[in-house]
Structures are given as structure tokens and as C-alpha cells.
Chains A and B, each alone.
Chain A
Amino acid sequence: MTSSPNIISRKGPDLRRVFPVPAQPAPRNRLAAAAPWLVAACIVGYALFAGGYPATVVGFALIYAIFVSGLNIFMGLTAQVSFGQSAFAAVGGYASAILTTQYDWGWLPAMVAGIAAALAAAFAIGYPTLRLKGHYLSMATLAIGLIAHEIAVEWESVTMGYLGISGIPPIDIAGYELAGDRAILIMLSLCVAATVFAVSRIRSSRLGRAFAGLAGSEDAARALGIDVARYKLVSFLLAASFASFSGSLFVHVVGYVSPEVFSLHMVILSFTMLYVGGIGTVAGPVIGALVVSALPETFRAFRDYQDLAYGTALILLLIFAPRGLAGLFAALDRKPSSDRGKGGTAP
């Protein structure tokens, strides 16, 4: 920090008596703060124990948790909206699929190449639109989602069109292939943990504060020297790289990719997860992904009704419970208030 005119250390008149302030909120209840993580651990633990179908469902949920966490950086922390994150997942997924099956790349360089390609695409879309009002980006991203789908369908020589690409190898570490239910689940849990760690670090950093500032008021953020357009772009690029990462994980876990994987269905599902879990919170995307996936219909046959259910649920959440399950956990957090800090007489 630079040196500055020192105005802080001067002891002035006690202004606190003049500006009475309401009581401090009660200190956070540690158990309530841990509650979402306990719920998540229980679901993953059960899947690890049970294996088989539950493990598959929870595995998909964990991949979505990463995707939605990225979306949350852009929407929750930065208050911008993108309808085309599925495109970046598609870029990652197809890069991994094509490079590992047709060019014999290792999974890691393929994944990194996918993220680089997603970043390039996000930059091309984000740089012009993020300088403009929010709806330009919304529509441009919705368009790019459809374009990605179209390219996946039309560019048959590379993507195999509707047929899709199969035979994608599982991720291997030191020659050991992560192919079993439990091995995959553990690997995905570690990926989610790393994602959550990154999001929580970002949230409480200077970068996260810049996001929060421009989310709260763009004018005020600019007046404090925050380059709003630049930070929106950074946030968008972060979201795109998490999307690409999750797309790569998906194709390695499933061993197959087709255009249907990254459709508008994926977009609406991820929004529902984000709002169920609680937008803007670190745990929200993980809880939302696990809870929405655990609902019995999600990955079963009633595909026709799924989008209807998610769309309706999303509208209801937006109207009636915009904070999602995070609001519920916050309610648990309320404890009878202590005497501390009442009426502006705090020490």
C-alpha cells in the first residue's frame, strides 16, 4: 500500500453517540455454517458406499457442481447473466474427446487445450458485449450456445455429427485408469473440492471484492477505480474455464460425447441448480447440483417432463425463494441475539 495522508490515526470526537446504530448480528453459528457441507458429504458418502446407479447419479451431480460453480462466479458474484455456458462445456468436452481419440493426446494436455479454446471463445464473445448493457451479453451467449450445438452437428468430419464420439478413454493417473464407480467418484469429489476452494478464495479476495462492487453498483465501482468492463470479462473467462473443465470431465467419465449433451436443457438445468442451492454462496452450487440430481426423475426416463419441471421450478424460485436452500441454512443460523453491540454502545 502506498503512503497516504494519515487521517485514520487522529483521535477525533466520538461520533458513535451521535450516529446510533442497530445491534450487531448474532455471531455465526458454526454448525449452521457447516450444515450444507455435511449434507453434501452425506450424499457423496452414501453414493461411495452404495456404488452402482447412485454413484453414477452423484458423479453427474459433481460434474454439474463444477459447471454451476463457474456460472455462480459470473452470476452470483458478479451479477451478470450468461445463457451460453453450455457452449464452453461443449468446447472442453469436444476438445478432450477429439484430441484423445483421434490424435492420441493425453487427457491433461487435451483438457488444457480445451480450456484455452474456451477462453478464446469467451474472450471473442465477452470483449465486445460486456462493455454494453447486460441483455446484449445474454442474447449473444444464448446465440453462441446454439452455434456450438450447430457446429457439433454440422462439422461431421470432426465431431461425427449426431452420432457422437465414443471410446473416449477414462482419466488415468500414473498408469492407473480411474474407471470404477468409486474411483471416479473420489476423483470428482477432489475436483469439486478444488473448485469450491478456488471460488471461496476468489470470493474473499481483492478480485472478489471488485466483482461484488460492480455487482452492487457499477457507478460506485467505477468511482472507486474499478475497471468494470475488465472485471466482468475476467469473471466471464473464469466461468468459461470452469465450464470447459466440467465438459472435459464429463466426456472422460461417460466415455462418449454427442451434441445432445450440451443443449439448452443443460443451461436451464444449471440455472435451476444454482437457484435451488443459493446463488452467490460458495456451497450453493454444490448443494443445488446434488439435490436437483438426487430428485428421482432427473436422470431417468421422464426427459420430456424434466425441462418443464425445471423451468417451472426456476420461475417459482425466482419469484418466491430467490435465495434457495442457502436462505434455509441462513435461517438455521439465527440464534437468540446476545447483548453485544446493542444501541451503538459497543466497546
Chain B
Amino acid sequence: MDATLIGQSLVSGLGIGCVYGLIGIGFCVIYNASGIVNFAQGAFVMLGGMITHVLLVRGELPYGLAILLAVLIVALLGVAVERLVVRPLWNRNAPMFVMILATLAAQIVIERLTYLAIDDQPKTLPVFTDLPPVMLRGIAVNMQSLWIVAGSLAIVAALALFFKTTRTGKAMRACAINREAAALQGIPVHSMLALAFALSAGLGAVAGIMLTPTQYTAFDIGVPFAISGFIAAIIGGFGRPFGAFLGGLMLGVTQAGAILAFGAGMKTIVALSILLLFLFVRPSGILGPAK
């Protein structure tokens, strides 16, 4: 096999891996704030691309503004999911599996509403900068992949800064370590939960928006992306946001290699095999469990 081809798929694997990583971070942020695994995470990824498309094509807004608005709208939708679906169950002390089930139902509802409100046709977005691919030792790296990698790294750095330096970020970390103790110290645990949903919905939206120009988005892409994001989070050690990003990169690269070796049909099966491998051999992930 020729080295260029391998290099090419490595690059595209890193790009998609960043996206998985951002989705995985979204899982961790909500999980740390509440212990809930939010199965509606994929809906946010799908909505990011979809809403941007609608604002751009039907609303005829400038691209940058459309992206900004889309991220804000999806973040608000995240809060809405928390308020309308999770909070009522949380307040009556519903078992965890009921909350997980409710988030899956929310995923289906959002997916179907999108289908009815827009349509079932795949949508795409223009690339962020319409420039020819950069050539690196014979490997063509398209600009969008660079955008994805750079954007993701910037977001991860900003998140690290947020968790380390800001009051709110520290409060969220305190909730992750021990919710009851955090509540006793006067941290508003409820607002933290809403904030976690907003943050992870926003992250999902950004991931979806960056990805759409290289692939496409449609009402039903959410669940597969959520699963990949979840696998990323498991590889990194569930509950460790930055581990999840690393896990996303590993998953993306492995998947790209598998596509090269076995063809695109094996994409999901390879992802599941990686999940099973980790669950069997090292369920605490490469970095070990959180806490």
C-alpha cells in the first residue's frame, strides 16, 4: 500500500477523531455534573449542522453569524432538554436508567421534529475557507481538516482554561468530585446541571458544524455520532474530558485505518469492536477511571 494513501487516511482520521473527541467531552461534562449519560448528545451534533444550514441557505445570513447563532440556539436547546426532561425526573429521584431512557426519547423527538420541520435530505455546508489543499510531503491536507483540528485544539485549550481558572469552572469540577459536598459548600448544583447541558450541547453543535462541510448532515446522523463519542469517552476513561478527546483521536485514526484495509462498510463494526475490546480488557480506559 502506498504511503501517501496511508498518510491521507491518517489525516482524515485525525479530523473525524477531533469531532468524536468533542462529542466525548460533551458526554463527560454532563456525566460529571449529574452522573447521567446523555443519550441526546447526538441530536446536538446533528442540529449544529442543520440549523447553520437553515440560517445560511434559507435565512441568507453571513456564514460566521449563522454558525454563532446555531451554536447559541443548540446550547439553549440543551438547557431546554435539561429543564423539560431531566429536571422533573431528577426532582422525583427517578432511577438512573429512567433518566437515560428519557434522554434517548428526547433524542428521537428532536430527530423527528427536525425531519418534519426541514426534510430528510442530506445537507451540506460550504467549507470555511475555499483554498486548495496544503501539500505535506505529497499528502494533500484539505483546509477543512485543518480547521477541524485547529478549532478542536482551541476549544480544548479554552475548556482547560475555563475549568482551571474561572469560578464557575472550578465549581463544576467540585460537582464532579462530590456533588453533595459541593452543594453543602453553597455551589448551586442545579444551575451547574443546566450549564453542563448548555456547554455539552454547544460542544456538540460546534463538532457538527465543523464536520458538515467534509461530509453531510441529515436528521438521523445523531445516534451513530453519539456512539462514537461515547466510545471516545470510554477509551479516555469515562468522566475525563481530555481523555475523551485523546480517545476520539485514537478512534478516528483506527477507524480510518480500518476503512483503508477493509472498506467503508466496516466502519461501525470496527468502532463496536473497539468498544467491546475496551469493555473486556480495560473498562477504565487508557488513563484509568476518573476521581
Contacts and interface: CB of A to CB of B under 8 A. Distances in A.
- The short answer to whether A and B are in direct contact, CB under 8 Å, is yes
Nearest to B112: A308
Contact of A128 (B101, B223, B283): B283
A315 B85 contact: yes
Interface stretch (B72-80, B143-151, B265-273): B265-273
B101 A135 contact: no
A138 B97 contact: yes
B39 A138 contact: yes
Interface stretch (B87-95, B170-178, B190-198, B202-210): B87-95
B234 interface: yes
A139 B97 contact: no
Contact of A311 (B112, B224, B227, B231): B112
Contacts of B109: 308, 311-312, 315
Contacts of B95: 79
Given A129-B279, A134-B97, A315 B272 contact: no
A304 B115 contact: yes
Interface string B81-108: 0001100110000111110111011101
B253 to A, nearest CB: 19
Interface string B54-72: 0000000000000000000
Contact of B89 (A75, A147, A304, A319): A319
Interface string A280-324: 000000000000000000000000110110111011001100100
Contact of A134 (B100, B227, B231): B100
Top 3 A-B pairs, shortest CB-CB distance: A135-B37, A308-B112, A311-B108
A142 B276 contact: no
A150 interface: yes
Contacts of B230: 139
Q: Is the interface of B mostly helix, strand, loop or mixed?
A: helix
B101 A314 contact: yes
B266 to A, nearest CB: 9
Contacts of A256: none
Interface residues of A, number: 40
A311 B105 contact: yes
Given A146-B224, A308-B113, A128 B105 contact: no
A136 B234 contact: yes
Contacts of A261: none
Contacts of A154: 265
A163 interface: no
A195 interface: no
Contacts of B111: 307
Nearest to B91: A319
Interface of A: 75, 79-81, 83, 124-125, 128-129, 131-132, 134-136, 138-140, 142-144, 146-147, 150-151, 154, 264, 268, 271, 304-305, 307-308, 310-312, 314-315, 318-319, 322
A136 B283 contact: yes
Given A315-B85, A319-B88, A128 B279 contact: yes
A304 B116 CA distance: 8
Given A128-B279, A139-B275, A264-B223, 6 more contacts: A125-B276, A136-B283, A142-B227, A146-B227, A311-B109, A319-B85
Contact of A143 (B100, B113, B272): B272
A263 to B, nearest CB: 10
Contact of A142 (B97, B106, B113, B223): B223
Given A308-B113, A318-B102, A140 B97 contact: no
Nearest to B224: A146
B69 to A, nearest CB: 25
Contacts of A132: 279, 283
6 contacts: A138-B37, A142-B223, A143-B271, A314-B102, A315-B106, A318-B98
Nearest to B220: A264
A138 B105 contact: no
Given A125-B276, A315-B85, A83 B97 contact: no
A222 to B, nearest CB: 18
Contacts of A315: 84-85, 102, 105-106, 109
Contacts of B116: 304-305, 308
Contacts of B97: 75, 79-81, 134, 138
A124 B273 CA distance: 11
Given A264-B223, A311-B109, A318-B89, A147 B98 contact: no
Contacts of B98: 318, 322
A166 B131 CA distance: 51
Contacts of A131: 283
Contacts of A304: 112, 115-116
A325 to B, nearest CB: 17
A268 B39 contact: no
Contacts of B271: 143
Contact of A150 (B96, B112, B268): B268
A135 B272 CA distance: 15
A142 B223 CA distance: 9
A286 B186 CA distance: 48
Nearest to B277: A128
